[in-house]
Amino acid sequence: MMKKLSVLAVVAVLAGAGVFWFITIPAVVTAAALPAYTPDAANGETVFNAGGCTSCHGVRGQPRTMLGGGLAMASPFGTFHAPNISPHPQDGIGKWSEADFVTAMTRGTSPARTHYYPAFPYGSYRLATTQDIRDLFAYIKTLPPVAGRVRDHDLRFPFNIRRLVGVWKFLFLDTAPFAPDPKQSAAWNRGAYLVNGLGHCAECHSPRNALGGIVASQRLAGGPDPEGRGWVPNITQKGLKDWSEKDIAYFLKTGELPDGDSAGGSMARVIRNTSLLSDDDRAAMAAYLKSLPPVDGPARPKRS
């Protein structure tokens, strides 16, 4: 009897290991899956600004096109360090193929076929069109190469085991593409695309569960700053009920709040990007945000 139980236990362990290995296989977009296309680097610059690439990957004190990385991002799991994504052939992404870049942006998989941690917001970027991502890659290739590799992440066990990110993806990474709402205007859909995709607003403006997944029922409803530096505001109508669309668009251009205050911290870096978008894109984002129903976020701790 005990021998049979032992055999069953071994079989169960092997089956579990097989399931784990299968669901954590890093997904890849192959070159064959990309149709012929001539990238538009000018649009790539718009994508670059909408995606806020320089906010994490820009080198402090240097022009915003110097993408040598280095920003340290604290989290409950440890500290992440934004990598060099300049076109440097050894230290950056200069040797990446277009398929490598599309894979990283939409599947969170590296050219070495390992998982990227979701501190890289591919959970939002995966909503971007393949054309926009290819345009972004073309634009980044026009920027200056920056020498120097960034240190690896400082993460606690077991979060330093990259294969486990595959479980996170299995639980939380939605692979459905962005779907425009035919009942809404083109401007509203553009705003939804920018806010939810390239702008990745939900990555900071949503509470997360113990595993770091966004709490879907409270998406964009604010919560603790992922870096532990205060509180991120609710940007549904629960938080923006007194803002007009013009207020939101003006804020995205200047960083000035309706009460005369101004954005600070990481949001100031975001404004430096959104300020470079067109008036139409900022208005589209404002129209979308203003249309969101009010959602209660987590209770903010009382100040002592």
Q: Give the tens place of pLDDT for each residue, 215-238.
A: 999 999 998 887 667 788 999 999
Let me know if residue 7 belongs to a domain: no
Average pLDDT over residues 202-206: 93
Q: Are residues 187 and 172 in the same domain?
A: no
Confidence of residue 6 (pLDDT cuts 50, 70, 90): low
Let me know if residue 57 belongs to a domain: yes
Q: Are residues 40 and 120 in the same domain?
A: yes
Q: Are residues 68 and 124 in the same domain?
A: yes
Confidence of residue 16 (pLDDT cuts 50, 70, 90): low
Domain end (from 177, 200, 227): 177
For residue 7, is pLDDT > 60? no
Most confident stretch, 18-27, 108-117, 169-178: 108-117
Q: Are residues 98 and 194 in the same domain?
A: no
Distances (CA, A) of 43 to 131, 162, 178, 278: 10, 33, 19, 12
Number of domains composing the chain: 2
CATH of the domain at 234: 1.10.760
Let me know if residue 95 belongs to a domain: yes
Tell me the CA end-to-end span of the chain in Å, nearest whole number: 62
Per cent of the chain over pLDDT 90 is: 73
| Structural domain that includes position 133 | 28-177
Q: Are residues 203 and 148 in the same domain?
A: no
Average pLDDT over residues 137-147: 96
Domain end (from 158, 177, 196): 177
Q: Are residues 231 and 141 in the same domain?
A: no
Q: Are residues 166 and 236 in the same domain?
A: no
Domain end (from 124, 153, 177): 177
Q: Are residues 47 and 33 in the same domain?
A: yes
Confidence of residue 263 (pLDDT cuts 50, 70, 90): confident
Q: Which of 36-45, 132-141, 295-304 has the lowest mean pLDDT?
A: 295-304
What does the alpha-carbon distance between residue 105 and residue 116 come to, in Å, rounded to a whole number? 10
| pLDDT at 60 (0 to 100) | 85
| pLDDT at 145 (0 to 100) | 96
Alpha carbons within 13 angstroms on the beta-carbon side of residue 226 total 26
Let me know if residue 198 belongs to a domain: yes
Q: Which of 29-43, 213-227, 233-247 has the lowest mean pLDDT?
A: 213-227
Q: Are residues 53 and 173 in the same domain?
A: yes
